[in-house]
């Protein structure tokens, strides 16, 4: 198995490496091939050491890539008393925030005004004072009063009140399937008028293909062609798989009727765990695996019963069990699960799939599953995909012992005879998807907005 699945992995790996776990997760490693994540994983495999990936682009000098115009400014408003003087006359003057002995946060700060901009945000007039960091001392504090001498009248003092605006953006959830220029919705707080847009997004590969409409007349092996990139996929299963029967499904503990509004199943969930997956509470009536190891009578003709046993049905009896017995475990089968083959029966298969499916021609050829062959890389937006395939000439029903019409005519040297019948798969739609595609990596503040203030 190691030679089969780890053919490209060096044999002199670190002694601490768990080979069984590596084989189990090798598919994810191969999909990440060429990425920084894969390089770090190889160093862990070989040396059991953490590593950092450096790319020359980190320190590359790009032509015309400099930030040529970064303005520093203070967002202000005016109280009713301050509105008697027009702050436009502060241009070229020094503004001062006086030290406030009653507030340790408000200390002396000064700056030279380079320009004044005024605009309206709802019913509030915003005053944007452009300053030069090289001529600025101290820190201007939200809510503090700033004054300066009018450039039109040296006997006139003009006052404004510092008000906060949106200054920085920190990404706590980078989302997915976003595009550059998408505008984020801001909620909470007392601010108004701020706008931010996505500036950069990440590129990644296609992880899966979602079957949106199953269609008809498709066959295993039909090819998916992506609108861009190097991703590859084929139809893996048509006509459905064998699903668990009613009565074998897990029964979830749900909220009472009337305690949930909008969408959602109402299932009680555990908190999100490290892999960003959630688990549900199971009801005690869910089907369980019997893990008891019962002590048998001689000649294996029965089991020892507890003295307290009074049950007449097998399910009601108390058996004496060995100390190696374990608590019963839930089977945990959901409606979208499929009955599969045992691991060893698919050991030498060319790709991983274990679902038991119907024979060809026993259904309408509707698509059940699509398998990824190569995820590609560098996708910043989700591609689209179309499905195509070839059809082969088969024996007529009268010359075929079966009635499925899928006994193909073969060449002597191998290969099948192609049919001139056009590809007849129809009406299916598929949606390529990748968790890492289109994640936000940086934002651009389009409008800083302002914190709502109570004017006196």
| Residue 296 DSSP label | B
- Any alpha helices (H) in 288-402, and if so which ranges? none
Report the DSSP beta bridge partners of residue 95.
111, 148
Give the three-class secondary structure for 169: coil
What pLDDT, on a 0 to 100 scale, did the predictor assign at position 68? 59
Report the DSSP beta bridge partners of residue 450.
192
| pLDDT one-digit tens code per residue, 42-70 | 788 888 888 888 877 777 777 666 655 67
Query: Residue 150 pLDDT > 60, yes or no?
Result: yes
Give the pLDDT band of residue 226 (cuts 50, 70, 90): very high
The Cβ-side half-sphere exposure at 104, using a 13 Å CA radius, reads 0
Instruction: Give 309 or 130, the one with higher predicted confidence.
Output: 130
Instruction: Give 20 or 200, the one with higher predicted confidence.
Output: 200
Q: What is the helix (H) or strand (E) element at residue 44, kind and residue range?
A: helix 36-47
Output phi, psi for 190, to 5 deg.
-115, 10
Other residues' Cβ atoms within 10 Å of the Cβ of residue 217: 17
| pLDDT one-digit tens code per residue, 192-220 | 778 889 999 988 999 999 999 999 989 88
Mean pLDDT on 307-317: 61
Report the DSSP beta bridge partners of residue 444.
197
What pLDDT, on a 0 to 100 scale, did the predictor assign at position 120? 84
The Cβ-side half-sphere exposure at 111, using a 13 Å CA radius, reads 21
Give the pLDDT band of residue 157 (cuts 50, 70, 90): very high
Alpha carbon distance 215, 77 (integer Å): 62
Do residues 194 and 449 touch, judged by C-beta distance below 8 A? yes
Other residues' Cβ atoms within 10 Å of the Cβ of residue 110: 17
What pLDDT, on a 0 to 100 scale, did the predictor assign at position 140? 93
Do residues 352 and 184 touch, judged by C-beta distance below 8 A? no
Report the DSSP beta bridge partners of residue 433.
208
- Which residues fall within 8 angstroms of residue 237, CB to CB, at 6 or more apart? 220, 353, 355, 357, 367, 368, 369
For the chain, give the mean pLDDT.
77
Query: Residue 362 pLDDT > 60, yes or no?
Result: yes
Query: Residue 403 pLDDT > 60, yes or no?
Result: no
Alpha carbon distance 163, 128 (integer Å): 10
> Which token pair is 56?
């020359």
Alpha carbon distance 450, 452 (integer Å): 6
Of the listed ranges 250-254, 288-292, 384-388, 407-411, the one predicted with least confidence = 407-411
What pLDDT, on a 0 to 100 scale, did the predictor assign at position 64? 64
Parallel, antiparallel or unpaired: strands 72-77 and 157-162: antiparallel
> Which token pair is 361?
């021609």
Instruction: Give 409 or 75, the one with higher predicted confidence.
Output: 75
Do residues 382 and 432 touch, judged by C-beta distance below 8 A? yes
Q: What is the helix (H) or strand (E) element at residue 29, kind and residue range?
A: helix 19-31
Give the three-class secondary structure for 209: strand
Mean pLDDT on 97-124: 90
What pLDDT, on a 0 to 100 scale, did the predictor assign at position 454? 34
What pLDDT, on a 0 to 100 scale, did the predictor assign at position 151? 93
Instruction: Give 6 or 38, the one with higher predicted confidence.
Output: 38
Domain boundaries, the chain: 2-57, 72-163, 203-242+357-437, 243-337
Give the pLDDT band of residue 405 (cuts 50, 70, 90): very low
């Amino acid at each position: 198995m190691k030679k089969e699945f780890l053919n490209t992995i060096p044999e002199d790996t670190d002694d601490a490496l768990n080979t069984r776990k590596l084989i189990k997760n090798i598919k994810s490693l191969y999909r990440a091939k060429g990425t920084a994540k894969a390089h770090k994983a190889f160093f862990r495999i070989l040396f059991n050491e953490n590593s950092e990936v450096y790319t020359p682009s980190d320190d590359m000098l790009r032509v015309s890539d400099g930030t040529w115009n970064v303005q520093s400014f203070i967002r202000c408003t005016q109280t009713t008393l301050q509105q008697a003087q027009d702050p436009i006359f502060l241009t070229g003057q020094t503004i001062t925030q006086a030290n406030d002995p009653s507030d340790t946060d408000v200390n002396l700060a000064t700056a030279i005004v380079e320009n004044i901009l005024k605009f309206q945000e709802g019913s509030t007039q915003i005053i944007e004072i452009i300053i030069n960091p090289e001529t600025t001392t101290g820190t201007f504090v939200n809510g503090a009063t700033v004054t300066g001498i009018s450039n039109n009248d040296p006997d006139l003092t003009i006052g404004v009140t510092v008000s906060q605006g949106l200054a920085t953006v920190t990404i706590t959830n980078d989302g997915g399937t976003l595009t550059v220029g998408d505008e984020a919705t801001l909620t909470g707080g007392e601010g108004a008028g701020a706008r931010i847009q996505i500036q950069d997004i990440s590129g990644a590969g296609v992880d899966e293909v979602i079957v949106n409409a199953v269609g008809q007349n498709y066959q295993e092996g039909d090819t998916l062609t992506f609108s861009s990139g190097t991703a590859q996929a084929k139809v893996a299963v048509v006509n459905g798989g064998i699903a668990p029967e009613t009565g074998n499904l897990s029964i979830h503990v749900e909220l009472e009727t009337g305690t949930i509004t909008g969408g959602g199943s109402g299932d009680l969930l555990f908190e999100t765990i490290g892999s960003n997956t959630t688990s549900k509470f199971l009801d005690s009536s869910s089907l369980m695996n019997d893990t008891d190891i019962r002590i048998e009578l001689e000649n294996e003709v029965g089991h020892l019963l507890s003295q307290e046993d009074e049950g007449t049905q097998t399910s009601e009896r108390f058996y004496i069990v060995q100390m190696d017995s374990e608590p019963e475990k839930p089977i945990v089968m959901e409606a979208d699960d499929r009955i599969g083959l045992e691991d060893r029966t698919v050991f030498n298969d060319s790709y991983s799939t274990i679902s038991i499916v119907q024979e060809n021609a026993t259904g309408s050829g509707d698509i059940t599953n699509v398998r990824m062959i190569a995820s590609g890389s560098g996708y910043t937006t989700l591609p689209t995909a179309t499905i195509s395939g070839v059809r082969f000439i088969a024996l007529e029903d009268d010359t075929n012992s079966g009635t499925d019409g899928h006994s193909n005519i073969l060449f002597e040297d191998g290969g099948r005879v192609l049919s001139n019948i056009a590809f007849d798969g129809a009406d299916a739609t598929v949606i390529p998807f990748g968790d890492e595609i289109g994640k936000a990596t940086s934002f651009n503040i389009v409008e800083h907005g302002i914190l709502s203030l109570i004017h006196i």
